[in-house]
Amino acid sequence: MKKRRHPTRWLRYSLLTIFLALTTYLALGFGKRSFESFCPFGGMESLWGLFRVGEFSCTLGPLNLSILIGVLVLALIAKKAFCGWACPIGFLGELGARLTGLFWRRPPQPAGETDRSWRLVRYVVLVLSLYFTYKMGELILRGYDPFFLIFSGFGHGSLGIASWIVLAILIIGALIIPMFFCRYLCPLGATFDPFSRLGLIKIVRNENTCTSCNLCQKRCPQNLAPQAVVKLRHHDCTLCLECIDACPVEGALELKVTL
Amino acid sequence: MRIPHYILPILVVVALFGGYVLRTSFTQPTTSVALGSGGGATLTCTVDGLKCKGTANFFTGLYEGTPGVSGIETFATEHRAIFTYDPKVISPDNIRAIMEAPIPFQDGTRQQVFTCLSTQ
């Protein structure tokens, strides 16, 4: 029954490492473009300015918008695969989640209603980010954005001690609750949610062979529960395939195209 | 329909590459200013220091009232500026000299803010 170790994680970590290295390369000023010009959320922040005056806000440009469109189409096909296979912040969050193993035998996982309520906070972050960006025409919340703070090295737009406090809270949060930022605060994740729910590629459970051992949920970075459903439609599934890696029964969890 | 796992990285790379290719469909200047009539020639400069809308506005302001320069479009994310100018009145070297001239700061110092890396 015990199947061989799946190489998917190493494939995924390799791709994530490449994207992290590319972002770092751009952040160090080696490329022609700023690392920020590849952030899909910049596309969201551009929409109002483009609609009203036909101009991009601040440092944003057409690449932000076109990458946003690319990843939204991706979400319609493969849910939040961008988060699990490309996002540098998601990767750092996942590495942080691995570090939590040093502090916790079993990391605390807010469950049930608490978890669901906390996940709504990212919609508040999304609305606030867009409201202030549209109102001011500037990326005034970049001082609280871990992507900007980490890769710019607290560059122009950071808010000194306030930015340090926010980043410290996010790091401590990541060491207590796995994927803290992605789960509860990421406005890009909130943008993906309605698209991700429609995603065609899903984790599908075979009820006849599944032993309900819960190993899949224990390994899921997002603490989702594939063992509780037949098709994992949850909008937070990043298709990282950790659940399939963890499953001791061959074929009990599979990657399928299904409505 | 069951699908192989390696389809996911392929989809991610295709989506991002597709987005990268699509960018030219949305290209809009960061600023587009008509400074006067005339013109005829265009000069495209790659400008170090042109980083955002603020610097683009400041950059454009350097050419206000400059004879021979009739329009400037800036593209901050690409660090690029396109000048429309009258070659009988102003030369590309003069245009370059204006952006590279040291600028007085509030603390009394003068510093070069923009550097023209290349022209075409």
**Per-residue pLDDT tens digits for B78-93:** 788 999 999 999 999 9
Instruction: Look up the CATH number of the domain holding residue B100.
Output: 3.30.70.100
> Residue A34: which region, alpha, beta or left (left: phi > 0; alpha: psi -120 to 50)?
beta
The predicted pLDDT at position A185 comes to 93
The predicted pLDDT at position A4 comes to 55
Residue A251, domain extent: 200-257
- Beta-carbon contacts of B75 under 8 Å, excluding residues fewer than 6 positions away, are A61, B27, B29, B30, B81, B82
The CA distance from A103 to the nearest CA of chain B, in Å, is 32
Domain boundary among A196, A216, A231: A196
Q: Do B28 and A15 touch (CB under 8 A)?
A: no
Q: Do B19 and A85 touch (CB under 8 A)?
A: no
Verify that A214 and A187 share a domain, yes or no: no
- The structure's pTM equals 0.80
**Domain assignment present for A172:** yes
Verify that A99 and A33 share a domain, yes or no: yes
The CA distance from B35 to the nearest CA of chain A, in Å, is 19
pLDDT at B36 over 70: yes
Q: How far is CA A224 from CA A206, A229, A234, in A?
A: 17, 10, 8
**Domain assignment present for B88:** yes
Q: For chain B, how many structural domains are there in total?
A: 1
Q: How far is CA B58 from CA A187, B15, B73, in A?
A: 31, 36, 13
Give mean pLDDT, residues A51-56: 72
In this structure, the number of other CB atoms found within 10 A of the CB of residue A239 comes to 28
N residues, chain B: 120
What are the helix (H) ranges across B35-115? 53-61, 92-100
Residue closest to B32 by CA, chosen among B14, B2, B59? B59
Residue closest to A220 by CA, chosen among A146, A113, A111, A120? A111
**Domain assignment present for B7:** no
Question: Which residues in chain A are closer than 8 Å to B51, comparing Cβ atoms?
Answer: 34, 59
The ipTM (two decimal places) reads: 0.88
Q: For chain A, how many structural domains are there in total?
A: 2
| A-B contacts (CB, under 8 Å) | 126
The CA distance from B100 to the nearest CA of chain A, in Å, is 20
Residue closest to B82 by CA, chosen among B47, B46, B51, B43? B43
**Domain assignment present for A103:** yes
Phi/psi at A102 (5° precision):
-75, -25
